[in-house]
């Protein structure tokens, strides 16, 4: 399983990276813009990500915008909904408005409320059929 993290806070990024590295290659970026670039690059190299964890609040481009950009790109490429990359939104605040926006407009696959541990992440990976 190949994963990508977009998280602007180093300690959180370090923490999530360690959790996801247990499942395979895990790349990190520190904002939404970098994440979209990394996603496109991996797609072009035909080594796409299986899952992307996007923090919602980030500088340059936030998680919502990155989610939108990735879904738009997939549409342009003619990728069917079932082959879309799994995108998990991570939010520090249990903010229903953000989650609603991401789930229904942005079509994210799921969300994680920070802080989350190994168990929660594992359950989600199973739920998303990534492992």
Partner 1 sequence: MINTGPDKSIKHSDIVRLSDFMIEETGIHLGPDKQALIEGRLHKRMRELALPSFDVYMDYVFSPKGKSNEIIHLIDILTTNKTDFFREPNHFEYLMDSVIPEFKNEGEAGVRRALNVWSAGCSSGEEPYTLSILFNEFLENNPWFRYQIIATDISTRVLDMAKKGVFEIDKMSDVPLMYKRKYFLKGKGENSNLAKAIPRLKSNILFGRINLMEMPYPLDITFDVIFCRNVIIYFKKPVQEKVVNALSQKLRKGGYLFMGHSETLTGMDIPLERINSTVYRKL
The least distance separating partner 1 from the CB of residue 120, rounded to whole angstroms, comes to 11
Q: Give the shortest CB-48-to-partner 1 separation in angstroms.
A: 23
Comparing C-alpha atoms, which of 45, 43, 100 is closest to residue 71?
Answer: 43
Residue 78 CB, nearest approach to partner 1 (Å): 36
The residues, any chain, with a CB within 8 Å of residue 84's CB and separated by 6 or more, are: 71, 74, 107, 109
For partner 1, the closer CB: 9 or 101: 9
Q: Which residues bind partner 1 (CB under 8 A)?
A: 9-12, 14-15, 18, 21-22, 114-115, 117
Q: Between 16 and 70, name the residue whose CB sits nearer to partner 1.
A: 16
10 or 100, CB closer to partner 1?
10
């Amino acid at each position: 399983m190949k994963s990508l993290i977009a998280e602007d806070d180093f300690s959180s990024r370090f923490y999530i990276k360690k959790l996801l590295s247990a499942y395979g290659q895990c790349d990190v970026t520190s904002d939404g813009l970098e994440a979209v670039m990394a996603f496109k690059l991996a797609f072009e190299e035909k080594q796409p990500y299986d899952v992307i964890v996007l923090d919602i609040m980030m500088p340059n481009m936030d998680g919502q915008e990155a989610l939108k950009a990735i879904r738009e790109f997939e549409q342009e490429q003619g990728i069917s909904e079932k082959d879309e990359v799994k995108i998990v939104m991570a939010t520090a605040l249990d903010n229903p408005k953000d989650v609603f926006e991401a789930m229904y407009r942005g079509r994210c696959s799921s969300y994680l409320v920070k802080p989350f541990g190994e168990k929660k992440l594992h359950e989600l990976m199973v739920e998303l059929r990534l492992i």
